[in-house]
């Protein structure tokens, strides 16, 4: 199946934790990692850095490392959809807050800003709590 969209997912780690977020205004939305849609003509690596910075408010000091590409298939409203996901890793350094709020000002949905609440989870906990198949690439982190 040809992908309907190109996506990037970023596994940001700090010490022995993974950065995740939820959406306080939409409690039905599952736990996620930063990521988003690659724009037409955009380099995948540039998209990963852009999405990470837009969603978290962080511009990492170290580069994002490509991990893998995976086609994620799902059914939505009775239609089969395929997203080609490019997984990246970034190891954050220095002191990091335990939790923070940040507004995504340019969501893909085209609506208004979306409030994200970021926090850190152990890899084991993240592997059971992440939604939308986002746990797929976690074993690549070692």
Average pLDDT, the chain: 92
What phi, psi does 127 have (nearest 5°)? -65, -25
110 vs 133, higher pLDDT: 133
Q: Specify the range with the lowest mean pLDDT, choosing from 40-44, 112-116, 117-121.
A: 112-116
Summarised one tens digit per residue, pLDDT across range 35-82 is 999 999 999 999 999 999 999 999 999 999 999 999 988 888 888 988
How many whole angstroms separate alpha carbon 91 and alpha carbon 118? 16
Confidence of residue 112 (pLDDT cuts 50, 70, 90): confident
Residue in the block written with tokens 């978290």: 56
Q: Is the pTM of this model over 0.85?
A: yes
Confidence of residue 108 (pLDDT cuts 50, 70, 90): low
Residues 121 and 20 sit within 8 Å (Cβ to Cβ): yes
How many whole angstroms separate alpha carbon 64 and alpha carbon 67? 9
Confidence of residue 105 (pLDDT cuts 50, 70, 90): confident
Confidence of residue 109 (pLDDT cuts 50, 70, 90): low
What per-residue confidence (pLDDT) applies to 103? 92
How many whole angstroms separate alpha carbon 46 and alpha carbon 27? 30
How many helices and strands (H and E) does the chain possess? Answer: 2, 7
- 123 is written with which tokens? 């890899």
Statement: residue 130 has pLDDT above 90: yes
């Amino acid at each position: 199946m040809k992908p309907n969209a190109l996506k990037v997912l970023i596994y940001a780690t700090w010490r022995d934790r993974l950065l995740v977020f939820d959406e306080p205004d939409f409690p039905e939305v599952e736990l996620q990692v930063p990521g988003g849609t690659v724009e037409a003509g955009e380099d995948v690596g540039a998209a990963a850095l852009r999405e990470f910075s837009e969603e978290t408010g962080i511009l990492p000091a170290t580069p994002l490392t490509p991990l893998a590409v995976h086609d994620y298939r799902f059914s939505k409203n009775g239609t089969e959809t395929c997203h080609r996901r490019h997984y990246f890793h970034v190891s954050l350094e220095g002191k990091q807050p335990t939790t923070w709020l940040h507004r995504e000002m340019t969501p893909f949905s085209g609506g208004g800003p979306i409030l994200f609440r970021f926090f850190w989870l152990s890899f084991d906990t993240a592997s059971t709590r992440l939604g939308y198949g986002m746990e797929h690439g976690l074993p690549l982190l070692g």
